[in-house]
Each structure stands twice: as C-alpha cells, then as structure tokens.
Amino acid sequence: MASTTSQPSHAQAQVDSKARQTGWTALIILALLLMEWALVEALKIAPPISIVAKHPHKMAIYMRIFYVHVPAFMAGFTAFFVNFLASAAYLWKRSLKSDALAIAGAEVGVVFTSIGLITGPIWAKPIWGIWWTWDPRLTLTLVLWVMYVSYLMLRQLTPTNEQQPRLAAALAIFFFFDVPIDYMAIRWWRTQHPQPVLFGGANSGLDPRMATALWCGVAAFLLLAGLLFRLRYRLECDRQRIAVLRREAALRET
C-alpha cells in the first residue's frame, strides 16, 4: 500500500498500481488452480477410506467433505486470531490500519466458519444419523461463531466514527479470553466428534494420499481467505480515507 504521507509522483503511482494489478491477478489465478487441484485430490485421488474406522466402506464417500470442512475451519480460525491480534494492536497504537485488519479478520472468519458449520451437519446426517449434537467441539465452534457475529452486530450498530474501532476492540479482547473458559465449561459433556486426525497422538495420522488432498485444500482455502481478507482490508482503508476527506471538505465549507 502506498502510504499517505509520502506522495509518489503520478507516473510512479501508475506503475505501482499496474504492478499491483498483475500480482493480484496472478494470485487469483493461483488460488483458482489450487482449488481445482484440491478438488481433484479430494474427489478422485484420495482413497475411499473413512477416518471413522468402524464405518462400512460405502459410507466413505461422505468422508470427502472432510477436505472442505477442515480447511474452512483452519482459514476461519486463523482469521479470528488475526482479529484478536489487530484489536490488541489497535488498543495499543490506536492506528486505523489495525482496525481495518480487525474488521477484515472478523468478516472473513465468520464466512469460513459458516462454511465449516454448514459442511459439518451435511456429513453428520448420514454418519451419525443427526444433523447436530451438543458435543463439546461443535458447541465451542458454534459459540465462537456466535461471538463474532455479535462483534459484527456491534460494528453495524455503532456510528462509524472514532467510537467504533475503540468499542469493537474492547469487545474483541473480551471475547478472545472467553474461548478457554468456554472450552472448560463445554468439555464436560461427552465427545461425539471424531478425535483429531492431525496432531492428535499415536494412532492419528492420515494415509499419505489423504494427507495430500487435505493439505491442498488447506493451502487453497488459506489463499482464498487471504485474498478476501486483503480485499476487505483495502475496502476498509478506502472507506476510512473517504471519511477523512468528507470531514475535511465539510470543515472547508464552514
């Protein structure tokens, strides 16, 4: 991003924007290709084995949604974490850039967590026979989603002036520290969700071909989330600049 303090010459700015445009297009094409590859890996190459061992083989087709479900959550949770870091940074330095990062993090996070929360029940219905259960991990994820929707509600109902970034950051900090307590409150119910396959312990781990499909998916989703994040961040920066220009114009008129 060209900073507002150093004013580059018009020609220089044009070259910059052209280079940025090219880089942007390249990233979008890369994301599309990665998505494509992840899809092929997930639907064709990955062996039809269910991660839940006791399930009959023909059920394993449902398991392929796993390659969307897990990457979506990884992208979503990463975005939420960015929101927390940006909110803390805002309270510390009071820079509007951090606030733009926080907005982008929350919105992208809600989108990807929603994808995870929708794909989960689609898998659960044929495998567990129910759409939803109040299992700790499901509950915690839903609570997390609810919290960030609540955060976006606050942003929507607060006037867009100096107040909003401050209040939103104050809320984000409160919510972030709630997650471990939520975990402790919720884990006392029994667990129905399959145990972690990644980083889970001695018996966890995937067939190598499944791992390839999964990591392709993760890379594709993270890249997509990153692109959306950057887009939302720049939109917010533009909105902030317009607000500043408006205020200056109003001052000049009076």
CA distance 108 to 94: 22
| 214 CB burial (10 A radius; 0-12, 13-18, 19+) | buried
Closer residue to another protein in complex, CB, 184/202: 184
Maximum Cα–Cα distance for the chain, whole Å? 76
Closer residue to another protein in complex, CB, 97/178: 178
Residue 69: name the closest of 35, 116, 112 by CA: 116
State whether residue 201 is helix, strand or coil: coil
CB of 157 to another protein, least distance (A): 5
Tokens of 190: 């029994």
Closer residue to another protein in complex, CB, 30/88: 88
Residue 98: name the closest of 114, 85, 110 by CA: 85
CB of 185 to another protein, least distance (A): 4
- Chain residues binding another protein by CB under 8 A are 91-92, 94, 143, 146-147, 150, 153-154, 157-159, 161, 163, 166-167, 169-171, 173-175, 177-178, 181-182, 184-186, 188
Closer residue to another protein in complex, CB, 68/86: 86
